[in-house]
Amino acid sequence: VYSSRSDYILTDRAHLDAITPTMKFVDSLQLGKQAVHIIDREADSVLHYRKWDSQKRKFLIRADETRRVLHDGKSKVLSEIVTERTEAFKFNKKVEFKGKLADQYITHTTVILNRPARQHRKKNGVESWRNVPGKAIKLRLVISQLRNEAGEILAQWLLFTNLAESVSAQTIAL
């Protein structure tokens, strides 16, 4: 793998495993503030959340609504939490969505990922999965919905982050 991060050819890794060295490189740039690594849903990985959190790396990752977490002491799928929090959504602001204005609504809560991670590997065309136990990790779940004038949901994002409570849910959602 050729990269502007290195004068040398890098080892080929599983795409999720390549994120950690990239995070390390960004952190080494000493940009004056701690980096927040914003990654799409493909990085929704308990194994990696645990690793990055233990390394004190800050992240914001779009979550899969089928992920199971602990919420209020009960095991729930994220889509259940969205439904339960319907009344907790608060209007944030008007935003542009596909060339039109939409209303952004936000809610947030705390969840715990306590299940074993599922590590996926593919070697010589053969896929394998294994459970990897680990300590429970507490994350913030920020849910952002864009709604039209009729209140219909146009888009929804479920965001996991380990950012401090001092960073508002509104800032995270935007």
User: Tell me: the pLDDT tens digits for 121-137?
Assistant: 777 778 777 888 889 99
In this structure, is the dihedral angle defined by the CA atoms of residues 37, 43, 44 and 46, taken in order, positive or negative?
negative
Cα–Cα distance between 101 and 148 in angstroms, integer? 8
Decide if 140 contacts 161 (C-beta within 8 A): yes
Question: Within 10 Å of residue 147's Cβ, how many Cβ atoms?
Answer: 18
In the beta sheet, which residues pair with residue 118? Answer: 131
pLDDT above 80: residue 16: no
| 58 token code pair | 């800050």
pLDDT above 80: residue 1: no
pLDDT above 80: residue 11: no
Q: Residue written as tokens 């136990």?
A: 133
Distances in Å between the Cα of 77 and the Cα atoms of 25, 63, 108, 110 are: 34, 11, 15, 13
Q: Residue written as tokens 């390549």?
A: 18
Decide if 154 contacts 104 (C-beta within 8 A): no
Question: Within 10 Å of residue 75's Cβ, how many Cβ atoms?
Answer: 12
Decide if 16 contacts 45 (C-beta within 8 A): yes
> Pick the residue with more confidence: 40 or 139?
139
- Write down the pLDDT at residue 131: 82
Cα–Cα distance between 108 and 99 in angstroms, integer? 27
CA angle 65, 67, 69 (to 5 degrees): 120
- Stretch 7-35: mean pLDDT: 80
